[in-house]
Structure 1
């Protein structure tokens, strides 16, 4: 099968997107209660005062911890994570958004927009995420979705596309409304997805944002409500939330030594302290481990890994890591484009990710690696201590797979 240059390039882009999504979202969910199989992973226990909680590794999409993770609950302004990513993906950041009477009069937290005021969509997104403006949420929804109902439909379609199985959105702000529910696990998956968007990631890590104010002689100045940005090393997001029915809700994220984690708590009276301990626990016990390097030959075949792959593993998990090479039909269009198959990894019988493989010496192997991967040796002293006892086992697995050193 032959394809012209444009068709080939388009198909290649589609395959790369599909591969990235497979890597991020083909992961099996961990138990929805308790310690997310911590006993099997041989890591210390963790507890929170939250009614529901979750921790996720952002790059891989692996849920590291879950407590009542699939129980639908009210989530307050954590809703705005979905509002923001839908607006970013479907709107034009340079658009001028006109504030309606309905938006200006929206109850709850506000950035004090006035009816008839015009603001750039990008600036309004900062007001949405830093100050949790319900007026901003309403104005954004009306602009991007054409109406509140139209935007809510987009939110639920996006939830279904990402694979959020227990979420239903009824409004863009998170104000309490019957049927407006999500879960700790779904919010973790949504956050991991959203943080892969550079615009979203830049907004949620901003501590102070100024924007033009057409009503006064001074600019708007919004300080981020997320105290984790100032109180936790490496913190870079994400969103606070509160209503009388949902109580305190929080999603936080942090990056250390190239690894980004996100933590979620719902109905937690001690959320700041819980998030510090949750993130510390995740960084300590789940070390990003290089499983394959781009160009690494596969033992027994004239094939090599098309990109690098790493995954967070805890002590004792290496023995449960297995690989499977799935070869393509030589008559398929993917084969015609140079791909020869997919190398898939399983952990304890569940698929954790996959990468394409190519002929050794293929031009494709010289393409820039999509995700540069820091060496495990760059981990913190705590991570090294946690990981040193199983690194030898990991290297043995990689040697068996690739017929050489790690």
Structure 2
């Protein structure tokens, strides 16, 4: 019994001290984040550098507008003219921060996005949602569908603004994934890094200058987005991006009690820059796999690098790569540069991203190859026949010329003999 107890205790100790990821480092170097949930992700590699209660459902407040803005940019036209409806008069859907839109007022989508992402206007969120989705329920479903596509499976949106509503929740992890995808859209990135922007309004005495509420954007030149938020229920929330020395991190802090959220975010960024380094795991042009097309080998290569983030004092980690064909059918032909597969990049069973794999050569289908061979054979055969005919004609002409010259010599000889006899 004593031996069994000792053995069980040993197993428990081994399990308890084995960290599943370097993101859960609890050493003194890790920052002490006062928010209830936090996450730090490397944008290039997609790897996690820090997390605190990463999967706890929390209210996102106006960080919800990251998804609203992303969908507007992906599905809308910035030059669209948006006409808000009477939905704006519903004070259960629209209250708090506003630019005081009125039903029937016309405004370009590009200006409404400044109001949404800089000024965090809740009426702009509703106007955009109805414009893109035709109605609020449809747009909210689009938000949730896009979240699932991104991999944010613990997110449940109920409105486009982030105003308090029971069940409207996300997680620090999910929000980091959403923000990473959103920031990789160049138009979205341009919006959230803008400090201020005037918009056109037909009336006076209403907000026209949109000012970015992300205080870190004004304090730190390396910070380049994304979105803060606050409600009484969600408390202080912040999603922020920082880029320095070719590296970019996105940090998320949810349900922080006060303005320390900004200094905590800076500490999170400093932790990432000082404790981790980014390297190229596979450079662009690397052969990741080889397939066979018509019994001929075809290399599949990357058209962009795969990055890896490692602890500075630990160089042993590697990434897992899994090649998945884009079609279940057997390839009978392929063109150079054609995407024929994808490679899934994982870290300790966590999917980080997917990149296309392209063919390095062109392989024609069998029918085309046979046709080309037949054409080639036909042309070759024809050329040979023409050559033979020409040779025969030339040979015949040569023989004819010889006979003619022989006749001419005989004629001259007979003439010479008659001359001499005379």
Q: Give the TM-score, by structure 1 length.
A: 0.72
| Bigger RCO (CA 8 Å, 6+ sep) | 1
Note if 1:120 corresponds to 2:108.
yes
After the TM superposition, which parts of structure 1 deviate over 6 Å for at least 4 consecutive aligned residues?
31-35, 297-302, 327-331, 339-344
Q: State the secondary structure of the residue aligned to 1:161.
A: helix
After TM superposition, the structure 1 = structure 2 runs for residues 243-392 of structure 1, keeping only pairs within 5 Å, are 243-268=231-256, 269=258, 270-296=260-286, 303=299, 305-307=301-303, 308-321=305-318, 332-333=330-331, 336-338=334-336, 347-348=347-348, 352=352, 362=361
State the distance in 1 between where 2:84 and 2:289 align: 61
More deviation in 107-116 or 329-338?
329-338
Aligned length: 331
Deviation at 1:293, TM superposition (A): 2.0
Residue of structure 1 in register with 2:23 after alignment: 36
More deviation in 51-60 or 336-345?
336-345
Instruction: Give the one of 207, 231, 234 matched to 2:219.
Output: 231
State the distance in 2 between where 1:334 and 1:209 align: 54
- Cα contact 2:289–2:323 (8 A) shared by 1: no
State the distance in 1 between where 2:349 and 2:216 align: 36
State the distance in 2 between where 1:138 and 1:120 align: 14
State the distance in 2 between where 1:187 and 1:204 align: 16
Q: State the secondary structure of the residue aligned to 1:239.
A: strand
Deviation at 1:299, TM superposition (A): 12
Residue of structure 2 in register with 1:208 after alignment: 196
Q: Give unmatched runs, 5+ long, in structure 2.
A: 1-17, 291-296, 363-422
Residue of structure 1 in register with 2:372 after alignment: none
State the distance in 2 between where 1:45 and 1:137 align: 36
- Cα contact 1:296–1:305 (8 A) shared by 2: yes
Residue of structure 2 in register with 1:107 after alignment: 95
- Cα contact 1:155–1:169 (8 A) shared by 2: yes
In structure 2, relative to structure 1, the CA distance for the partners of 1:334 and 1:347 (3 Å cut) is: farther
State the distance in 2 between where 1:279 and 1:207 align: 20
Note if 1:163 corresponds to 2:189.
no
State the distance in 2 between where 1:188 and 1:332 align: 38
Deviation at 1:354, TM superposition (A): 6.2
More deviation in 218-227 or 75-84?
218-227
Residue of structure 1 in register with 2:60 after alignment: 75
Q: Which of the pair has more CA radius of gyration?
A: 2
More deviation in 171-180 or 333-342?
333-342
Deviation at 1:44, TM superposition (A): 2.8
Deviation at 1:346, TM superposition (A): 5.6
Deviation at 1:261, TM superposition (A): 0.9
Note if 1:66 corresponds to 2:51.
yes
